[in-house]
Amino acid sequence: MSTDNTSFSLAKYTPTELLGFMESRRSFKPKVLGPPYPDRRLIEIFIGAALTAPDHGMLRPWRFLKIEEWGKAKLENAFEAAALEADPGASEEMLLSARKKAFDCPCLLAAIAVLDPEHPHIPQSEQLIAVGAALHNLLLAAHAHGFSGTILSGKRVTSRALREALDLAEHEHLVGFIPLGTPTVPAKPRQQGKIAEHLQEWPL
C-alpha cells in the first residue's frame, strides 16, 4: 500500500483486508529496526494519517518533532539528565545506557500532546484519547508502507530535563518517542485477547 501524496485512504480495500492489515501490525523496539528508514516525504504521509484520527471538536491536540541527527547530542544529554532526575544515584553504566538510547534508531519522532485545560466542552481526558488515536493512525500508516515502530514512554517522559530540552510549553506533554524503520527480525505472534472479556451487554 502506498501513495504519492499526503492524504491517506484505505477505502479501496475490503473489510476483511483492512482487518487483516490492522491485525498484522506489530511493535518493534528500536534496536531491531534497520534500513531503509522513512524519509521526510513518507513521514508527512504518516502525519497526514494521524490528522484523520477521531477527535472531538477537531482540536488536533498534538504535534510531532522529527529528531534530526544533529540534535541527537542534545537528546543524549537530556536522556542522561532525565535518568539522574529519576535516580540521583544512577551508576555510570546506567547513564551510559540512557545516553545511547538517543542513537538507537536514525528515524525518531517525539509525540507531544498539546492540551487545552480551559476548553469549555472537551476535557483533557478526551483530548488525550484523540492523541492516542492519532498515534495509532500514524503507526498504521507506517505499517502500510512497510515500516514498523513503537511508542517509547515511561516515567522519564515527564522529566523536567526532557521538557526543557524539547522546549515544551506548560500545556504540552511529551507522550513518548516513536522510532521508525524496517524490522530486522520476524514479528512475534500476537496473544489473542478474549472478546467476551471486553464486551458485555447492559443492563445485565
What number is the average pLDDT over the span 17-21? 88
Q: What is the pLDDT of residues 121-158, one digit of tens each?
A: 999 999 999 999 999 999 999 999 999 999 999 889 99
3-state SS of the chain is: CCCCCCCCCCCCCCHHHHHHHHHCCCECCHHHEECCCCCHHHHHHHHHHHCCCCCHHHCCCEEEEEECHHHHHHHHHHHHHHHHHHCCCCCHHHHHHHHHHHHCCCCEEEEEEECCCCCCCCCHHHHHHHHHHHHHHHHHHHHHCCCEECCECCHHHHCHHHHHHCCCCCCEEEEEEEEEEEECCCCCCCCCCCHHHCCCCCCC
Q: pTM score, two decimals?
A: 0.90
> What domains are there in the chain, each with its CATH number?
25-57+106-185 (3.40.109.10)
Q: What is the pLDDT of residues 38-55, one digit of tens each?
A: 999 999 999 999 999 999
